[in-house]
Amino acid sequence: MATQTKAAAVAAPAGAMAPNRPKPSLMSRLAYHFERYWQLWILVAPGLIFMFLFAYVPMWGIQLAFREFEPSKGLTGGEWVGFKYFIQFFQSPLFGQIMWNTVRISLWTLVMGFVFPIILALLINQIGSKKVKGFVQTVTYMPHFISVVVIVSMLNIFLSPGSGIIGRFFGDTSLMGDPNAITAVYWISEVWQHCGWNCIIYLAALSGVDTSLYEAAKMDGASRLQLIRYVDLPAIMPTCTILLIMQMGSVLNVGFDKIYLMQNTLNQTATEVISTYTYKIGILGGQFEYSTAIGLFNTVINFLFLMIANGISKKVNDASIF
């Protein structure tokens, strides 16, 4: 007993006197990291350089929204005016109409463009023959590669009153000129063009479902609809959640090119959105400060929608993008 006590007394000071290793500095840890993973950094370097040059460097021009732009003084030489152009946009007589048009078209396109690819993927996944499935996939993908100019030209021809393939059923009513119908024309054409392409990621998620789940469900007497409800939908739900969150970040971004090509004097009250208004005011009108303020406002609203959707998803089903 005395021997153990003595040994413990001797061991305690020895342990206490053991020197602590100094924590490596930040620079030494970075040097070790780059020395070990330099091949990976070489691979990602082109992407990082591209992002820095074309995404972060242009952000220097955001301050133009808070200054009077004078070409001779550059982006930072003009007088600081604060939120003048934001207030000007909010007090504009067209503000309410532009926001309503943008939100209406965006929400219709977002909802329908999110639901229909899921339905199409679930239906394609039920096709047993590989040849038929490949043919259906190819046919549904093809419209995605058609030019926007061609799409709008097709709409004008097909919806021409009296002579168009579809327009003849509406008599003398011009769907391309009707403010009440142009929103439906826009989102239906968007869904038709991109539905097949957008369902690819859902088909990829469905391909990873264990076949034993299908076999067990069939042995229990499950029908096709029950297979979709209890096997397929739970399998793609995490993918659906992530894609919905990402799409919420562009809820106010209506594609400029297509809506601008579809716009005419008859439907302008329903097709004047933030992107077309910014183009007319900023590029054609030369009000670069005003258009920059509108673009910054649009970006902030989209970012808020993204954060809100991500927070709700994280609390509800523990799925988020960050």
**Strands of 80-168, DSSP E:** none
Q: What is the pLDDT of residue 199?
A: 92
Q: How far apart are the C-alpha atoms of 188 and 175, rounded to whole Å?
A: 13
Quote the domain boundaries for residue 233.
Answer: 96-271
Which is nearest to 278 in space by CA: 288, 268, 269, 270? 288
Single-letter amino acid code for the residue at 107: L
Single-letter amino acid code for the residue at 191: V
Asked, for residue 225, whether it belongs to a domain, the answer is yes
Asked, for residue 134, whether it belongs to a domain, the answer is yes
Asked, for residue 193, whether it belongs to a domain, the answer is yes
Q: What is the pLDDT of residue 183?
A: 93
Compute the average pLDDT of residues 176-190: 92
**Is residue 20 very low, low, confident or very high in pLDDT (cuts 50, 70, 90)?**
low
User: Does pLDDT of 7 surpass 80?
Assistant: no
The larger pLDDT score, comparing residue 19 to residue 154, is at 154
* Whether 182 contacts 175, CB under 8 Å: yes
Q: What is the pLDDT of residue 15?
A: 46
Tokens (6 digits) for 279: 């183009």
Cα distances (Å, whole numbers) of residue 134 to 77, 128, 131, 137: 59, 11, 5, 5
Overall number of domains in the chain: 1
Asked, for residue 195, whether it belongs to a domain, the answer is yes
DSSP 269-287: HHH--HHHHHIIIIIIT--
Q: How far apart are the C-alpha atoms of 8 and 29, rounded to whole Å?
A: 38
pLDDT digits 0-9 by tens, 249-279: 888 888 788 999 999 999 999 999 999 999 9
Compute the average pLDDT of residues 131-150: 91
Cα distances (Å, whole numbers) of residue 64 to 55, 79, 92: 16, 10, 20
The larger pLDDT score, comparing residue 173 to residue 179, is at 179
Over the chain, what is the mean pLDDT? 87
**Which domain CATH number covers 136?**
1.10.3720.10
Asked, for residue 291, whether it belongs to a domain, the answer is no
Asked, for residue 68, whether it belongs to a domain, the answer is no
Q: What is the pLDDT of residue 71?
A: 80
Q: What is the pLDDT of residue 190?
A: 93
Of the chain, the percentage scoring pLDDT greater than 70 comes to 94
Tokens (6 digits) for 52: 């820095």
pLDDT digits 0-9 by tens, 283-297: 888 888 899 999 999
Asked, for residue 322, whether it belongs to a domain, the answer is no
Residues in the chain: 322
Tokens (6 digits) for 309: 């959707």
Asked, for residue 294, whether it belongs to a domain, the answer is no
